[in-house]
Amino acid sequence: MGKYAFVDAALQELRDQGLYNTIRTIESSVGAWVVVDGRRVLNMCSNNYLGFANDERLCTAAHDAINEYGVGPGAVRSIAGTMSLHIELEKKIAAFKGAEAALSVQSGLNTNLATIPLLMGKEDVLFTDELNHASIIDGVRLTKAKRVIFPHRDIAALADLLEENKEIEKKLIITDGVFSMDGDLAPLPEIVEAAERYDAMVMVDDAHGEGVLGSHGRGIVDHFGLHGRVDIECGTMSKAFGVMGGYIAGPAPIVEYLRQRARPFLFSSAATPADVAACIAAIDVLTETDEPVRKLWANGDYFTQKLEELGFDTGESETPITPVMLGEAHLAWDFSKRLFEEGVFATAIAFPTVPKGKARIRVMLSAAHSQEDLDFAVEKFAMVGRQLGVIS
């Protein structure tokens, strides 16, 4: 019985419950194909929606930034870590999003940790969708505000809860823009209407909408034409943008307050020059052309249609996130393992990430996929689906 016996027990419990995750290691850059365990496999599970993760223009920008600015800022943003690159990125994000101002932080997770506890105190009330991302949940946990969790995308329930809490002066509704496990969208126009009736603020985490929804991938607010009616948009540069970093876009006073007091901004070092320069390049590319966004959607539509023709259940997705619903966790694990043997890397997702009985393979389409790649994947899904009795 050692000091760490409790850890051994916890790990054993994960193994016993079939929840122990064997993490695969990528041995190449992240493109349509990746090298895993020495094998080249078709990548259908990274969030590299636009194929930017190894895009030459972004890589060149990163190299140039290292040559000019070095590899690290050596300080937090508020002391000596703010470089001209960070300011340039913030201006570009604000312009791209059509927001008054923007703040860049190190990651999408940090956007929620920065914003939610700063805006909401113990006298206030927060309304949060039950399926919101873990980083929103953690941001909410850092506040002393009253928490009200509303059923997934349920506007009637949200309206009732707003009514019940209408005496509380400061209210904030927080939702994911695109829900990452099912690919469905928040009913943002209805949320905004309800918020306006009760004078509540709205914050949307657009991590999976960025680069995917709206004109040139400007995100969910642009998609629904809600500019000026959503108070705060936050998001990440780690998915469609293929790099790393988070941003918060919104009214200038809120962004200024974050700059003065947000803890990830004050107490964690600034993003590196290479990352920031690559993010700037990503926005420049997308501002100039929407070609990768259109390719992404065409790939998503094609793949979903082919899988449905084969008899697969692809859920309720409204985006290029394509869940292939399988039900029991062990079937999803087996399916993913068989796909991998056939050269397709697509991970299984099961409880606790999704509800019990709703295990699936979550396929992430990308603009990087060619027609041949998609046909290869469809062929392998068909083959494994028949072998495992999922389709006939």
Ligand X SMILES: *Cc1c(COP(=O)(O)O)cnc(C)c1O
Residues in touch with ligand X (CB under 6 A): 107-109, 133, 135, 176, 180, 205, 207-208, 236, 238, 246
- Distance, in Å, from the CA atom of 53 to the CA atom of 292, rounded to the nearest integer, reads 13
Q: Which is nearer to ligand X, 129 or 222 (CB)?
A: 129
Active site residues: 180, 208, 239
Question: Which residue's CB is nearer to ligand X, number 107 or number 322?
Answer: 107
Residue 242 or 315 with smaller CB distance to ligand X: 242
Q: Which burial class, exposed, middle or buried, applies to 190 when counting CB atoms under 10 A from its CB (0-12, 13-18, 19+)?
A: middle
Choose between 135 and 299: whose C-beta lies nearer to ligand X. Answer: 135
> In the complex, which residue's CB is closest to ligand X?
108
Rounded Cα distance between 220 and 187, Å, is 10
Rounded to a whole number of angstroms, the minimum distance from the CB of residue 109 to ligand X is 4
Q: In terms of CB distance, is 214 or 385 closer to ligand X? A: 214
| Shortest distance, position 167 Cβ to ligand X, whole Å | 30
* Smallest distance, ligand X to C-beta of residue 18, A: 25
Residue 28 CB, nearest approach to ligand X (Å): 20
CB of 166 to ligand X, least distance (A): 28
